[in-house]
Structure 1
């Protein structure tokens, strides 16, 4: 019900290409297709379950462009495994611009999709009037609120980050810490259930590396997608696991109260990773997304 191909799209940084999976529905149509631009969350790449969403959307008649950020997954960029929020937002804009330049895509029916940290990107981009997406979807999104850690954790992160910043300034290899680790240990994401939750979405063929530059964590506190809620320009769906202990639900509720553009679907009893493929609440989350698309971006 769909075809899949791989594209290389030049990023904003000269010589660094973004690796993109293009999904096209096979049903014949004479009209340009609505297109969904998708990327993954914190420390993840597109092999970690995004194909299941893209396949479902394409089977329903939507084209999808699923990409890896610079420095991550199959895309170019060095040093590797370094998170830069502005770069990731820029990469979304790059793929969106590419999509709008293709004759087989409808430039007026472009949807931004994100999950977890990229759910925050979806919220942020939906507030950019000049970008003008027709709709946006944010699943279990990062909104600016995360679980607190111990004072010792913050001291360790500060120390590792300082050394990392110095090494990168000298063009040396970054200082890496685990992306996911058990509660009480050193790592970027240490909430209860995060390790088994993340590993459950890592496919056997995934090139997943459980490491991130320590100073990447300095990017997170200042990034507050919920502050953009009043500027959201298009219908925005937030699929919210009610028991999310990683990206705290309070931020999503704040967005829903702040703008009439937001449609919030609470998945009762679900944790952060429970809405991904193979998990107990995936069908409920996907169904809500397909209904939202049918309502606001009918094929």
Structure 2
């Protein structure tokens, strides 16, 4: 079966709400369960893969093909939106707090371990871009004890190079304005999540606008805005720093010509931990996602890794 053409008959998709650490704010999630138990009928539940999107993304942005592929293999999958994003609760909207997103992953992990349909000893974390960095960070938390992690084109603390320009200065000033506004309880100052080179925005490298457009089936699913102060989260986030403490097998699928999350960062991660495996795909950042020529190559690496590291009973 092709990684891009899973059979709907092979899995059931449900919709669940998971209480977050903020009272009253629920995490919106999809739950995929294989229909057939012939390939895997464990008494302790199924291995479960927990997934979330990258910066400014939500689960409607082409995460379903991954989940469907894994469910067809016999794994359970839970795909969730962070607080403030997608269909999850939380205000103000579209603000990136890395500590909050890591906490949301932990919340979903704990939730899944309490559900009888999942094996609490076989929890796999999956992330892409910024969330690819999140799962690397979480792989080093011994108390979480994930079984394995899969990280696609991850942000590992090294971002794209920036040039001092008038656009850069305007972007920073918008970020400072947002910090001041939110500090006194005002509505955030927003900038585009993706924009063309030379414009104010979060992601402005060549190919970003076109890449995001490819993974959004309906433009209404992607508001294309983020609080300007979210820019200041990334320089202080370094998932690679936790590499020596990684406790489980980790697959990194890296794009050779990535202009957002450089390949060199993935190679440095591998050098710091014997548990890290890197597969390099000859493409750009957004060419690993569904609908591109290199997507199946990325997914094939993930499938092989899963079957080797988290075998189905």
- Normalising by structure 2, report the TM-score: 0.93
Question: In structure 2, how many angstroms separate the alpha carbons of the residues matched to 1:254 and 1:30?
Answer: 38
- Conserved in 2, the CA contact under 8 Å of 1:46 and 1:73? yes
1:208 equivalent in alignment to 2:222: yes
1:108 equivalent in alignment to 2:108: no
Cα 1:170/1:99, change in 2 over 3 Å: same
Q: Which residue of 2 aligns with 1:72?
A: 85
**1:170, CA displacement in angstroms?**
1.9
- Conserved in 1, the CA contact under 8 Å of 2:61 and 2:221? no
> CA RMSD of the aligned region, Å?
1.0
Question: In structure 2, how many angstroms separate the alpha carbons of the residues matched to 1:206 and 1:47?
Answer: 10
Question: In structure 2, how many angstroms separate the alpha carbons of the residues matched to 1:180 and 1:284?
Answer: 26
Q: Which residue of 2 aligns with 1:159?
A: 173
Instruction: List aligned pairs for 1:120-269, cutoff 5 A.
Output: 120-152=133-165, 153-204=167-218, 207-268=221-282
SS in 2 for 1:151: coil
Aligned length: 298
From 89, 111, 115, the counterpart of 1:98 = 111
Per-residue CA distance 1:192-236 (angstroms, 9 max, x = gap): 111101110011275211110000110000000111110110000
Per-residue CA distance 1:243-294 (angstroms, 9 max, x = gap): 10111111100011111000100112x1000110001100000000000000
**1:159, CA displacement in angstroms?**
1.0
Question: In structure 2, how many angstroms separate the alpha carbons of the residues matched to 1:41 and 1:77?
Answer: 18
SS in 1 for 2:29: strand
- Conserved in 2, the CA contact under 8 Å of 1:180 and 1:190? yes
1:2 equivalent in alignment to 2:11: yes
**1:145, CA displacement in angstroms?**
0.9
Instruction: List aligned pairs for 1:31-42, cutoff 5 A.
Output: 31=43, 32-42=45-55
Cα 1:222/1:74, change in 2 over 3 Å: same
Question: In structure 1, how many angstroms separate the alpha carbons of the residues matched to 2:141 and 2:207?
Answer: 34
Q: Which residue of 2 aligns with 1:27?
A: 36
Q: Bigger shift: 254-263 or 164-173?
A: 164-173
- Normalising by structure 1, report the TM-score: 0.98
**1:155, CA displacement in angstroms?**
2.1
From 262, 275, 278, the counterpart of 2:288 = 275
- Which 5+ residue runs of structure 2 have no aligned equivalent? 1-9
Per-residue CA distance 1:63-90 (angstroms, 9 max, x = gap): 0010000000000000000000000000
Q: Which residue of 2 aligns with 1:286?
A: 299
Q: Which residue of 1 aligns with 2:69?
A: 56
Q: Bigger shift: 69-78 or 160-169?
A: 160-169
